[in-house]
Amino acid sequence: MVKLLTKEDIKRILQSRFENDECTRLNEIPKPSSLKDIGRASKRIADAMRNHERIAIVGDYDVDGVISSVILSQFFDDLGVDYSLIIPNRFTDGYGLNPDIVAKLDVHVIITVDNGISAIEAAQICKEQGIDLIITDHHSVPAVLPEAYAIVNPKQEDCAFPHCEICGAQVAWYLVAALKEELGVEYDLSSFLDLLCIAIMADMMELVGMNRVMVKKGIGELNRSKRAAFEAIRQYFGKATLEGDDISFLIAPLINSSGRMEDAIFSYEFLKSKDVNDALVKLDYIVSLNEARKEEERLLFEATLPYVKEAENIIVAWGEEWHEGIVGIVASRLSKRFKKPAIVFSIRDEKAKGSARGIGDVDILELIRSQEAILLGYGGHKGAAGVSIEIKHLEQFRINLEKASSQFTQEVLEADNDLLGEITADQIDFELLEILENQEPYGQKNPKPSFLLRNIAVKVDRLIGKDGQHLKLILQEGSVALEALFFNYDVKAKQGDRIDILFTVSRNDYRGLVTPQLLIKQILKKH
């Protein structure tokens, strides 16, 4: 039974999420020394800097990897260090450090950021060639570790760092902090908080404890930032201030789009722009890539629909040459639309590479792990994972997962940890908006609250968006009128209907007039 909430109930429930936070201020975050191997790593890099040895940074093509690369390279730039940088291309290089990338580098030291923890083969080649490999990463640690000079990863069993759920950019930032200490230089570490808050949110880290502190502080720094890229974003999109939702729905998808569609180096260079005009030119190109991404996503989503079977509790779809950069987003859309876990594969050269998304209380990584015997590789976490498999095993994989998922109950599939409770239309006002905004930023472990609103009348319905794929409604109860948006709607409501909806509340700032706006997640019932 969903409880009818008062505003006081809402405030109390949201505040209770942080009762056990041990870190509530920036000066309380753990020290770099608590990370295993960070002293060894920073000493070796500092020696290489002093001795003018050749250094390379190897990043990753997602937001976290790009920002990790920006943080470390910016530090090197500011100290006048010569270095090489490689961000692997998703389509030609694949993920992370590999033997082909090592072969391209004539260096003494390689530093990975946001990758490397599974680079067994590349690490062996580095060792044979006398290259000191320093791995900084945050992904799950495999049973066998690469033979590296140093590994800085909070998820290592014997690592004393108290918060293992931090992103790759935070690990890179901690390395910079250790290098600052090792070199005995003055350096403003807070200058990276504008970037860090984006990486933490984009990589879906838990927004409690130190992550929450860094994001809250970071959003403030983002709005004060003189970084040309962020001034360009504010200008381009006409944003006086940037909020947490702007990171999730605008900035992160933009930075991600170049790696998804072409090459992440475009986003890296954008973030490192020196002046606003240059940044605006680069941003314009990235925006065009993001628009192309949206179109690819629409087409691929339609291509996956025949794989959706009402009687099955999981969606497994695949196709020849499906866009590898888009399969994860499409899997996410499928899981949200049909309330089932989804895995979407792109087939190329007799292999299938896929992205998986969970739903409710389903642990998608455990589900994939159960098929380890027929997989080429996999990794991720409860809500999202990557997987690769030979195409000859695909059908068996699908059958096995369908059998495994047949035992999922509706409760498991539909568990909505975001649902706070039921409210009435007259409670949705500026005061409620303030209560909700006081508990930002929202994300993992602090999900944006969803509410249930029953039996409300639809007064106006209108299709919006280029292809009419979004629904705009005016809802009314008595004297209260509310604007609601339903992006990529799957159930249409029309004037005269009375409906039950599951929704979140966002800020609508129109010509200086701030009003609450409903973002519909689901139309649950038509009366």
User: Per residue in 463-473, pLDDT tens?
Assistant: 998 888 899 99
Same domain for 377 and 503, yes or no, is no
% of the chain at pLDDT higher than 70: 98
Query: How many Cα atoms within 13 Å fall on the side-chain side of residue 396?
Result: 11
Asked if the structure places residue 99 within a domain, the reply is: yes
Domains in the chain, number: 3
Rounded average pLDDT over 8-29: 91
Tell me the two tokens of residue 204. 């879906």
pLDDT at 285 over 80: yes
Residue 208 lies in a domain: no
> Given phi > 0 = left and psi -120 to 50 = alpha, else beta, which region is 512?
left
What's the confidence (pLDDT) of residue 482? 94
Residues 160 and 174 in one domain: yes
Residue 120 included in any domain: yes
- Residues 6+ away with beta carbon under 8 Å from 442: 207, 244, 448
Tokens of 201: 């949110």
**Which residue, 465, 458, 454, 448, is CA-closest to 496?**
458
pLDDT reading at 415 higher than 70: no
Query: Average pLDDT, stretch 347-376?
Result: 90
How much is the average pLDDT of 90-102? 91
Instruction: Say if residue 522 is in the same domain as residue 496.
Output: yes
Q: State whether 177 and 84 are in the same domain.
A: yes
Terminal CA-CA length for the chain: 19
Buried b (16+ CB within 10 A) or exposed e, 77-108: eeeeeebebbbbebbebebbbbeebbeebebb
Measured distance CA(444)–CA(431) in Å, rounded: 25
**Which of 190, 210, 234 finishes a domain?**
190
Name the nearest CA neighbour of 211 among 23, 57, 338, 362.
23
Query: 265-270 — which CB contacts under 8 Å span 24+ positions?
Result: 265/87, 267/63, 267/66, 268/59, 268/66, 268/69, 268/70, 268/85, 268/87, 270/229
Give the per-residue pLDDT at 507: 87
pLDDT of residue 412: 66
Is 492 a member of any domain? yes
38-42: average pLDDT:
98
User: Which of helix, strand or coil describes residue 225?
Assistant: coil
CB–CB of 344/355 below 8 Å?
yes
My answer on whether 402 and 422 are in the same domain is: no
Looking at residue 250, what is its pLDDT? 94
Strands 109-113 and 84-86: unpaired
Query: Which residues, 6 or more positions from 389, have their beta carbon under 8 angstroms from its beta carbon?
Result: 345, 351, 352, 354, 374, 375, 376, 397
Q: Is residue 228 part of a domain?
A: no
**Helix, strand, or coil (residue 387):** strand
- Residue 465, domain CATH: 2.40.50.460
Q: Give 374's DSSP letter.
A: G
Between residues 149 and 521, the one the model is more confident about:
149
Supply 168's token pair: 């790759």
242 lies in some domain? no
CATH number at residue 378: 3.10.310.30
pLDDT band for position 514 (cuts 50, 70, 90): confident
Could you give the CA distance from residue 161 to residue 40 in angstroms, rounded to a whole number? 16
Provide the pLDDT for residue 16.
92
Q: What are the residue ranges of helices labelled H in 184-275?
A: 193-202, 209-224, 228-237, 244-246, 252-261, 265-271
In a domain, 139, yes or no: yes
| The pLDDT of residue 416 | 60
Is 39 a residue whose pLDDT tops 90?
A: yes
- Shared domain for 459 and 378, answered yes or no, is no
Looking at residue 417, its pLDDT comes to: 64
Check whether 122 has a pLDDT greater than 70: yes
409 and 428 both lie in a single domain: no
- The answer to whether 388 and 352 have CB atoms below 8 angstroms apart is yes
**In terms of pLDDT, which residue wins out, 337 or 410?**
337
220 has a pLDDT exceeding 90: yes
Q: Do residues 180 and 35 both lie within one domain?
A: yes
Together in a domain, 38 and 176: yes
Does a structural domain hold residue 125? yes
CATH code of residue 161: 3.90.1640.30
Question: Does residue 186 sit in the same domain as residue 82?
Answer: yes
Residue 179: CB atoms within 10 Å: 24
Confirm if 70 and 175 have CB atoms less than 8 A apart. no
User: Would the pLDDT of 428 be above 70?
Assistant: yes
Domain endpoint, select from 368, 386, 414: 414
pLDDT at 451 over 80: yes
Average pLDDT over residues 201-212: 92
**Mean pLDDT along residues 396-401:** 94
Q: Which of 98, 109, 101, 95 is nearest to 60 (CA)?
A: 95
**433 and 499 part of one domain:** yes
- Rounded to an integer, the average pLDDT of 262-270 is 97
pTM of the model: 0.88
**Do 367 and 428 fall into the same domain?**
no
Task: Tell me the per-residue pLDDT of 303-317, one tens digit each, with 9 for 90 and over.
Answer: 999 999 988 989 999
pLDDT band at 414 (very low <50, low <70, confident <90, very high): low
Instruction: Provide the 3-class DSSP secondary structure of residue 149.
Output: coil
User: pLDDT band at 390, cuts 50/70/90?
Assistant: very high
Q: Residue 356 is part of which domain span?
A: 308-414
Q: Rounded distance, CA 66 to CA 77, Å?
A: 16
Could you report the per-residue pLDDT of 47-85, keeping only the tens digit for each? 999 999 999 999 999 999 999 999 999 999 999 999 999
Instruction: Name the band, by pLDDT with cuts 50, 70 and 90, for residue 407.
Output: confident
Q: Domain end: 174, 190, 206, which one? A: 190
pLDDT of residue 321: 86
